Amino acid sequence: MKGKRVLIINRGEIAIRIAKALNELGLVSVGVWTDNETEPPHLEYCQEWVHLSGNNNKETYLNIPKIMKLIEHYKIDAVHPGYGFLSENREFSETLAAKGVTFIGPNPIAVHKMGAKDISKQIAKEAGVPVVPGSTGEIESVEEAIKLGNEIGYPILLKAVAGGGGKGMRPCYNEKDIKENFSAVQREALSSFGYAGLLVEKYILNPHHIEVQILADKKGNVYHLFERECSIQRRHQKIVEEAPSPFIGTDEALRKAICETAVRCAKAVNYDSAGTVEFIMAEDKKFYFLEMNTRIQVEHPITEEITGIDLVANMIKVAFDQPLDFKSQEDIKIQGHSIELRICAEDPITMLPAPGKIVGFETTFPQGIRFDHCIYPKFTVTPDFDPMLGKLIAKGFSRDVAIRKLRNAIDGLIIDGIKTNIPLHKVILDEENFKNGHYSTSYISLIKPQEKVLVKEEIKSFMLKVAAIEMNQLGGVK
């Protein structure tokens, strides 16, 4: 494995995370940059970098023929796709396999089977795993959706089978909603994922998003690394995640049941990498398979913090058929509690992307904090990419300690020149329901922390901006 040349077809914080793991394991990290990225910070962590020409994702990070040319020209042995982009693309994993290039991810058949939400639900069902009630496959028409709506009962969710990142889904409360939304969701699916297919699911009210981390090798061993709760979401996308789940709490039987169910799903597709089985858990604690993400996830660090297992390093090792760092399921234990805040370039009140140029950046963190990010002073956040800049992660002896550390850390995280969701995170960390661990995916719409974002924060931010600019002139802290 040592000395193998690995191309990272991604950018931002995850490209940095992967480069660090590759360097640590003695592989050669090769980064890419495109024409619409000026001074991409991830290159600093790569040992080599190559140019991927083009101004938009179709021409660059999603362009399989162009990437294959780079692989050939620069004698690349393996590819790490990160998350998003080509990470769950069947054609990409098959093309690499055909050329004898190692894909740092699961085998192409697992990518295919778990890639589309309709096929994966069918597989889960066959494996005896409960799935959210709804259509068995893709639905073809408005009439079919209405028929299903009447059968399973409203509300229902129209969902893109190729969807991801919370995009391409809309709840419908009656027939009229279906008629009004059907073609709009199809259009969104086509433009975001290149495929218009939809499915119908029962829209479960006030559920919990609970997912299980899987790590499997190429010898048929499948392990779970316990669960994460990711119920604090905006636009169906996570912004705060924690492990273990406060909703499961001390119910060890439930924890065991959901973790073992996830292993069953992974085994059903001969899974052989790091991956995540996502579930929706209803208020009555019944859980249903939602989807499987056949890649490393944004929130993987909280699992690393509570288990002490480096997921990215182990994912790389299994791709090269090297043994995992542990020997059995019993070696994997939960110790303490970890919480992650996604730090995004977005308005803290509207939660909409807010690109711009960072003018100041400073961090002062207590013990127990990890910040996986791609920020530096003068970095320009463009609308071309996801607005997530980094993840602030706390590890504490208990959930209360993790919250306390995170609250302290976020006061010491200064990003100036752009709007971020830092003020929103401060409100959430101080909010009673969150502090007590009482929240569901309806948290943002029910509790409305965004309305409690203080204008005072903006004034404070202005004061800190002056200090940060001064710091920057002194050389800044990276």
Q: Just list the catalytic residues.
A: 295
Q: Considering the complex, what minimum distance in angstroms separates the CB of residue 300 from ligand ADP? A: 8
Q: What values do phi and psi take at 220, rounded to 5?
A: 95, 5
| 84, interface contact from ligand ADP, Mg ion, none, CB < 5-8 Å by kind | ligand ADP
Q: Considering the complex, what minimum distance in angstroms separates the CB of residue 337 from ligand ADP? A: 19
Q: Side-chain half-sphere of 414: how many Cα atoms within 13 Å?
A: 24
Q: Which is nearer to ligand ADP, 278 or 310 (CB)?
A: 278
Q: What values do phi and psi take at 360, rounded to 5?
A: -145, 145
State the residue for tokens 């207590």. 366
Q: Which is nearer to ligand ADP, 71 or 172 (CB)?
A: 172
| 246, interface contact from Mg ion, ligand ADP, none, CB < 5-8 Å by kind | none
Identity of the amino acid at 116: A
Q: Considering the complex, what minimum distance in angstroms separates the CB of residue 297 from Mg ion? A: 9
State the residue for tokens 């790590």. 215
Q: What is the C-alpha to C-alpha distance for residues 267 and 415, in angstroms, rounded to an integer?
A: 43
Nearest Cα to 243, choosing from 323, 170, 302? 302
Q: Considering the complex, what minimum distance in angstroms separates the CB of residue 91 from ligand ADP? A: 13
Provide the mask over 246-285, with x wherever binding to Mg ion is found by CB under 5 A and - wherever it is not. Answer: --------------------------------x-------
Burial label for 12, CB within 10 Å (0-12, 13-18, 19+), is: buried
Applying CB under 5 A, the site for Mg ion has a residue count of 1
Q: Considering the complex, what minimum distance in angstroms separates the CB of residue 204 from ligand ADP? A: 4
Q: What is the C-alpha to C-alpha distance for residues 30 and 413, in angstroms, rounded to an integer?
A: 30
Respond yes or no on whether the N-terminal peptide bond of residue 155 is cis (omega within 30° of 0): yes
Q: What is the C-alpha to C-alpha distance for residues 209 and 126, in angstroms, rounded to an integer?
A: 22
Burial label for 256, CB within 10 Å (0-12, 13-18, 19+), is: exposed
Respond yes or no on whether the N-terminal peptide bond of residue 244 is cis (omega within 30° of 0): yes
| 211, interface contact from ligand ADP, Mg ion, none, CB < 5-8 Å by kind | none
Give first-to-last CA distance, the chain, whole Å.
32
| 178, interface contact from Mg ion, ligand ADP, none, CB < 5-8 Å by kind | none
| 165, interface contact from Mg ion, ligand ADP, none, CB < 5-8 Å by kind | ligand ADP
Q: Which is nearer to ligand ADP, 209 or 337 (CB)?
A: 209
Q: What is the C-alpha to C-alpha distance for residues 352 and 371, in angstroms, rounded to an integer?
A: 23
Q: What is the C-alpha to C-alpha distance for residues 184 and 177, in angstroms, rounded to an integer?
A: 11
Residues of this chain that bind ligand ADP (CB under 6 A): 83-84, 88, 132, 157, 163-166, 193, 201-204, 207, 209, 233, 236-238, 278, 280, 290-291, 293, 297-299, 386, 441
Q: Which is nearer to ligand ADP, 298 or 324 (CB)?
A: 298
Nearest Cα to 227, choosing from 202, 196, 254? 254
Q: Which is nearer to ligand ADP, 123 or 359 (CB)?
A: 123
Calculate Rg over the CA atoms of the chain. 22
| 305, interface contact from Mg ion, ligand ADP, none, CB < 5-8 Å by kind | none
Residue nearest ligand ADP (C-beta atom): 164
Q: Which is nearer to Mg ion, 169 or 369 (CB)?
A: 169
What is each CA distance from 217 to 123, 214, 424, in whole angstroms? 20, 10, 40
| 193, interface contact from Mg ion, ligand ADP, none, CB < 5-8 Å by kind | ligand ADP
Q: Which is nearer to ligand ADP, 202 or 426 (CB)?
A: 202
Q: Give the 3-state secondary structure percentages of the chain, helix then strand then coil, rounded to 5.
A: 35, 25, 40
Q: Considering the complex, what minimum distance in angstroms separates the CB of residue 129 from ligand ADP? A: 15
| 83, interface contact from Mg ion, ligand ADP, none, CB < 5-8 Å by kind | ligand ADP
What is each CA distance from 132 to 150, 241, 253, in whole angstroms? 16, 22, 21
Q: Considering the complex, what minimum distance in angstroms separates the CB of residue 52 from Mg ion? A: 27
Q: Considering the complex, what minimum distance in angstroms separates the CB of residue 456 from ligand ADP? A: 30
Nearest Cα to 41, choosing from 308, 381, 349? 381
Q: Which is nearer to ligand ADP, 242 or 291 (CB)?
A: 291
Residues that bind Mg ion (CB under 5 A): 278
